[in-house]
Structure 1
């Protein structure tokens, strides 16, 4: 029986482990931390649970390829919440824009704000409707017939898919829509509009929703499935090196000196660690060598500010973006928008009558790295950020500051400490639709000079949670082909 050593117990590594066991392969997951999940995590603080990952979970419609994958690895069925809106955008002048998933409501809302933009609004709504039966997140599962069936839809949507969020917004005549529209998808102004169209269509069709219980509970359900299949997870187990013989991966050496032999190695570790620490530099392509020589300092949504508040906010939207008349200073940046996630819909994350909230900011890794040299200043800065953030929310929800019972500020260094993930590497260019669609294919990376070695995970292109899981699945599928075994899945 072929044996697989899997480095990292994130969703990709866990999915690989589940599919390995389902297909009669022996596997062991080597997790550096004391708990599984990596970036897919949540944590307790006082009476509250603060979530660090899942927002829109794709693959919730039974019978679809993604839903079958979630079932395979034990994540489904589960309790799911389907919100009515993506976000509500508000400014201090009284302007509001609710991004409903119901497309008739959304069209009415946008035309209320700007009747003079009716034609452009209809183009946007129709582009979402065209994707009602086409889930871009499933591209990696498409066969030839699926491509034929969906190709016409993709061609029809070219009229709008060439835009980014902000470039499309500039076409509106209404100053309100020009200002509000770019931030409706998590505040990401530069992403391809197609990503927003996909989320809107998927949410309208109840293919996307919110997982109740938090990301740690999601991961635990996958761990339970893996163990039930006979898989083994070793926690607090750091890998020092991938072992090789005659150009093949033959196992791993742990930091404690122990060697674990294997026929195949799958790395779901942080990309930098995989390519710069775990394998020899001679295996890197020129592109990889160049990529990992260029650290990216600016990190998206890397500063998490969470609050446990003694208020029932179930009458508020599940997400709201607040435009401030006066910006607030956050980690050296002037921020004029505060994007709030309201977890009042999930009763598992807070006591009755109370609410967990989260705000995420882009930030610079180097800012926190420098600040951490003085622990007192580091903690003072976190406290300031918590205070400034809740004061900004107070402008829209009077009384909320006095209702705060717990504040938690997780910086990029917090993430590095608990998951080993740090700054990104590679190009600083904006999102490109071509690269985005390529990411949807969920292909594990292989190296020509190191056989039987696979790299998976978000840092090498895994799109969202499902993409990393699909990469793990596809790595095992390739191994089954090498072993001349039929690959089993739903």
Structure 2
């Protein structure tokens, strides 16, 4: 409903980064945060996974909520609301996605659909699927060379533990499973997109293990707490009792998740900090 940014999510994120950098923000890439540092009930900085200390006047975590509360803060500032959420709230599923670079112009195909197949795709986690979410990115010229098209197929699954175990216990089998699933997807795409033999230039497969590895999202969930009647009426706190100069924002603080709520969270926290510091919030970059 909000449209699609040409260049995809990376370009969208980098636009924000470029604007932030012009305002004096410094980015530290490839710098995983291991711990939020606390002194006299105040957040005073973070410790990175390499041991480096980064001092801060205010710490805002837009990271995975479970990791923030239970690991970075060692479970010391859990509120009843968050304890209930992580013990009882349902989650969005994790996902398996196959991305294909196809040497073919697929401009004539609808960009988003959920085709149904008589023969199901059975994943190694034991789940069976007769459909998947199909995206044909022929409308975005930045994602593939001229005359070529990026196509993705996504299957949701709640069986994230099976993928974590397979990746940990038998890496060779895990890689073989990814290759097999890509083949199953390609086989089901050919009746829709036409013959693909010799036309596939790129194959990339993301599993629930990949989601956890790259995003840290709890249980590989791609959008946090699922929207239900109970969760949508819940209000998860942005700040934590007993810990000042700290806030949490993002999809794990707003049941239902999603990009718009995460963006609004950032704006709201900025307003809150301005109010605390006695500064006027202009709302302009």
What is the TM-score normalised by the length of structure 1? 0.52
Do 1:394 and 1:401's aligned partners in 2 also have CA atoms closer than 8 Å? no
Which residue in the other structure is 1:448 paired with? 241
Unaligned runs of 5+ in 2: none
Which residue in the other structure is 1:311 paired with? 104
TM-aligned CA deviation for residue 424 of structure 1: 5.8
Which residue in the other structure is 1:219 paired with? 13
Please give the secondary structure, in 1, of the residue aligned with 2:174.
helix
Please give the secondary structure, in 2, of the residue aligned with 1:399.
coil
Alignment of 1:25-40 (within 5 A): none
Unaligned runs of 5+ in 1: 1-198, 200-207
Which residue in the other structure is 1:228 paired with? 22
Change (3 A) 1:487 1:459: same
**Counterpart among 359, 369, 393 of residue 153 in structure 2:** 359
TM-aligned CA deviation for residue 272 of structure 1: 1.5
**Counterpart among 212, 217, 222 of residue 416 in structure 1:** 212
Are 2:283 and 1:489 aligned?
yes
Change (3 A) 1:432 1:293: closer
Alignment of 1:321-360 (within 5 A): 321-331=114-124, 332-360=126-154
TM-aligned CA deviation for residue 285 of structure 1: 1.6
User: What is the rounded CA distance, in whole Å, between the counterparts of 2:34 and 2:99 in structure 1?
Assistant: 34
Paired positions, count:
278
Are 2:177 and 1:405 aligned?
no
Do 1:444 and 1:475's aligned partners in 2 also have CA atoms closer than 8 Å? no
Please give the secondary structure, in 2, of the residue aligned with 1:302.
strand
- The structure where helix makes up a greater share of residues is 1
User: What is the rounded CA distance, in whole Å, between the counterparts of 1:464 and 1:234 in structure 2?
Assistant: 24
Which residue in the other structure is 1:396 paired with? 192
Change (3 A) 1:295 1:477: closer
Please give the secondary structure, in 1, of the residue aligned with 2:138.
helix
Are 2:237 and 1:237 aligned?
no
User: What is the rounded CA distance, in whole Å, between the counterparts of 2:51 and 2:183 in structure 1?
Assistant: 46
How far does the alpha carbon of each residue in 1:412-438 deviate from its partner, in whole angstroms, 9 at most, with x for none?
21122222224168xx99632564476
Please give the secondary structure, in 1, of the residue aligned with 2:118.
strand
User: What is the rounded CA distance, in whole Å, between the counterparts of 1:366 and 1:264 in structure 2?
Assistant: 35
Alignment of 1:238-277 (within 5 A): 238-277=32-71
Change (3 A) 1:238 1:323: closer
Do 2:94 and 2:160's aligned partners in 1 also have CA atoms closer than 8 Å? no
TM-aligned CA deviation for residue 295 of structure 1: 9.9
Q: Which has the larger radius of gyration?
A: 1
Change (3 A) 1:322 1:268: same
Do 2:106 and 2:136's aligned partners in 1 also have CA atoms closer than 8 Å? yes
Change (3 A) 1:430 1:223: closer
TM-aligned CA deviation for residue 339 of structure 1: 2.0
Change (3 A) 1:245 1:430: closer
Do 2:36 and 2:47's aligned partners in 1 also have CA atoms closer than 8 Å? yes
Do 1:248 and 1:450's aligned partners in 2 also have CA atoms closer than 8 Å? yes
How far does the alpha carbon of each residue in 1:279-313 deviate from its partner, in whole angstroms, 9 at most, with x for none?
142311234235445797x8635211111111111
TM-aligned CA deviation for residue 212 of structure 1: 0.7
